[in-house]
Amino acid sequence: MAHPGPGLSSPDGSAAPRTSGTQRPEDQRPDGPQPEDQRPSGRWSAGRGSAGRGPGGRGPGRRGPGRRGPAGRWSFGVRRSGARASGARWTGARLGWTAAALLPLAFLGVFFAWPVAAIIGLGLGDGGVWPALVDPRTWGLIGFTLGQAAAATALALLTGLPVAFLLARCRVRGSGVVRAAVMVPFVLPTVVVGLAFRALWPDGGVLPIVLANAFFNVAVVARTVGGLWAKVDRRAEDAARALGASRLRAFTSVVLPALAPAIGSAASVVFLFCATSFGVVLVLGGARYRTLETEIYLRTVELFDLSGAAALSLLQFAAVLAVLLLGGAARRRREKSLALRVESTRRPVGGEWGVVAAAWLVVCALLLPVVGLLVRSLSTGDGWSLAGYRALAGTGERGTLAVSGWQAAVNSVRVATDATLVALLVGVVSAVVLVGLRRHRSWFAEALDTALMLPLGVSAVTVGFGYLITMDALPGDFRTSPLLVPLAQALVVTPLIVRIVLPVLRAVDERLRQAASSLGASPWKVWREVDLPLASRSLVAAAGFGFVVALGEFGATSFLARPDAPTLPVVIARLMARPGELNSQMAYAACALLMVVTTAAVLLIERLRVPAGGEF
């Protein structure tokens, strides 16, 4: 039999004595042979039997359940008991994370799935879905929706890739300005962007709709693609160049395939945002150009055609689910590639300066509508004036508003704060659960991740109308509660917070959590002492990002806000719907205020930015 090797000791702490090839180790121990149920299973026995060594410690020995002798039985027992304990811990952890997922599931179930199912069920009950589906006008709407979304997505990719290159690869002065400048359009309220382009194209049309949707989403392409581009190994491209490939050939054959997952993920998100755009199309398209989103609003609010709205909602929901699944697959491929190389930047060389110049041209083009909006808020028929800003203290021409513009601004801040707090709670819990479940390779994590993204693509009008027909079933008739609008906004903000916080939590070294757990820390204490300090900056950035998105939310809020408690985007839409120079000036002044607040929040987010710490 083998003897313990150097450094091994018996269970009582003394050195294990050497034995001859014929002596049994239990005969050498002071207490003599022991019953099998009292034989040790510590390091001494495991070091002998489980090592699989032959007599004298040399050569292979027999292993497995068929091996005779106490050493073999001891090591087999250690493996079986360890496997049972590990399996129990694994099952308990999965059950714990699944239980923690009840909060986001309950939130999605009550404030998303139930209202959407109610409005669709109400429409299906009328039996009018089939006529709406076979109506040629419906397919015309679908064609225009997909066409303008595809054009805007292509334009966003074309303009976003040079910006992504500048942010990911180049060390030039002003890169921080570029990063903030491309982020401002993404968080501007849709009604503000619509009015900004209306100041440049007073008659609206297809071109300003496509340009406005691309204007919104350049940041998505720049951030998503740039995050991976910064980690693509330069040496493969340099090797291709050394072998005689042109700069373009090296890019198309080496860099572009590596960026394909990020480009696919960004394209799916941009297409989703463009296809479900509401405020931009409503302001710039009017009655001539309508998408599925604006048609759902028209049929629900003005025509009260629930069956037609339900049919369009079903089509939109199916399209959104397909895009989310494709985007999720691309995002998972991108996450597997995030650890390619440490980020590195350098001074541009040669033709790279042309790409940098193109990126700066894109930034200037993004600033043009913003500057135009500011100029329009200060200009009147009689010259330059602050009349629009002063008029915000009143209710508009001929009492257009029920409250003053400044009161609406206060309402917006209060509602956005409440929505941000709710979204932070649900979003952070969701991110923590997704990280925990992913460690156990749970299919439930993939399903929850997809479910959390669904509110981004479903019509906000559908959700808002669903609230009105379902929330009366909750205690106290929730339709009149001041929390209704914050909850609707939180539903939109939560997926964005998850996408910002989740990559940071996934990047935390798992060994830190394991070390804290091995020292006796509870799961809550592990998260508080390990994850929270490392993710604190991204949490603050997510809160600021969520606040500005909630501040400018227009779709569901326009449906749910009470006349005596409107938010600023709702007030802007009401002012633009009424004739009068004063109303128009007030609307542009209110847009300028929202834009200033949004820009300040973006600058704060940039100061707190975690490198590669989010998808937006």
DSSP codes of every residue in 279-297 = HHHHHHHTTTS--HHHHHH
The answer to whether residue 60 scores a pLDDT higher than 50 is: no
The answer to whether residue 444 scores a pLDDT higher than 70 is: yes
Instruction: Count Cβ atoms within 10 A of the Cβ of residue 273 and give its class: 0-12 exposed, 13-18 middle, 19 or more buried.
Output: buried
Count CB neighbours of 100 within 10 A.
17
H or E segment at 217?
helix 206-229
Q: What is the 3-state secondary structure (H, E, C) of 42-102?
A: CHHHHHHHCCCECHHHCCECCCCCCCCCHHHHHHHHHHHHHHHHHHHHHHHHHHHHHHHCH
Reduced to 3 states, what is the DSSP secondary structure of residue 348? coil
Ranges 80-84, 149-153, 254-258, 322-326, most confident: 149-153
Count CB neighbours of 212 within 10 A.
28
Residues 6+ apart with CB under 8 A from 24: 1, 33, 70
Percentage of the chain beyond pLDDT 70 is 77
Predicted local confidence at residue 509, as pLDDT: 79
Reduced to 3 states, what is the DSSP secondary structure of residue 384? strand
CATH 1.10.3720.10 intervals, the chain: 97-116+386-465+476-616, 128-384
Count CB neighbours of 69 within 10 A.
14
The answer to whether residue 214 scores a pLDDT higher than 90 is: yes
Average pLDDT over residues 150-162: 95
pLDDT tens-place string over residues 490-507? 999 999 899 888 888 887
Predicted confidence band at 131 (pLDDT cuts at 50, 70, 90)? confident
Predicted local confidence at residue 611, as pLDDT: 54
CB-CB contact of 560 with 464 (8 Å): yes
Predicted local confidence at residue 86, as pLDDT: 45
Average pLDDT over residues 54-82: 43
In 382-511, at which residue ranges do the beta strands (DSSP E only) sit?
Answer: 383-384
Average pLDDT over residues 332-359: 67
Predicted local confidence at residue 556, as pLDDT: 83
Average pLDDT over residues 479-489: 88
Give the predicted TM-score (pTM) of the model.
Answer: 0.72
Between the two ends of the chain, the Cα-to-Cα distance in Å is 64
Query: Closest Cα partner for 337 from 258, 391, 249?
Result: 258
The answer to whether residue 332 scores a pLDDT higher than 90 is: no
Query: Closest Cα partner for 401 from 153, 571, 211, 171?
Result: 571
CATH topology of domain 128-384: MetI-like fold (1.10.3720)
Predicted local confidence at residue 197, as pLDDT: 92
The answer to whether residue 16 scores a pLDDT higher than 60 is: no
Predicted local confidence at residue 55, as pLDDT: 42
| Angle made by CA atoms 64, 66, 72, in degrees to the nearest 5 | 60
Name the more confident of 205 and 346.
205
Average pLDDT over residues 559-585: 86
Q: Crossing angle for the helix pair 568-577 and 581-607, nearest 10 degrees? A: 150
Ranges 27-41, 350-364, 499-513, most confident: 350-364
**Ramachandran angles phi, psi of 15, nearest 5°:** -70, 140
| Angle made by CA atoms 236, 240, 245, in degrees to the nearest 5 | 155
CB-CB contact of 231 with 261 (8 Å): no
The answer to whether residue 607 scores a pLDDT higher than 50 is: yes
Cα distances (angstroms) measured from residue 304 to each of 122, 317, 485: 12, 20, 22
The architecture in CATH of the region 97-116+386-465+476-616 reads Orthogonal Bundle (1.10)
395, amino acid identity: T
CB-CB contact of 419 with 489 (8 Å): yes
CB-CB contact of 392 with 589 (8 Å): yes
The answer to whether residue 9 scores a pLDDT higher than 60 is: no
Query: Closest Cα partner for 168 from 344, 351, 350?
Result: 344
Buried b (16+ CB within 10 A) or exposed e, 288-317: ebbbbbbbbbbbbeeeebbbbbbbbbbbbb
Between 58-72, 111-125, 132-146, the lowest mean confidence (pLDDT) is in: 58-72
Q: How do beta strands 379-380 and 383-384 pair?
A: antiparallel
Tokens of 566: 């409107």
Predicted local confidence at residue 2, as pLDDT: 42
Percentage of the chain beyond pLDDT 90 is 17
The answer to whether residue 385 scores a pLDDT higher than 60 is: yes
95, amino acid identity: L
CB-CB contact of 151 with 300 (8 Å): no
The answer to whether residue 28 scores a pLDDT higher than 70 is: no
Name the more confident of 591 and 35.
591
Q: What is the DSSP string of 285-347?
A: HTTTS--HHHHHHIIIIIS--HHHHHHHHHHHHHHHHHHHHHHHHHHHHHHHTTTSS----B-
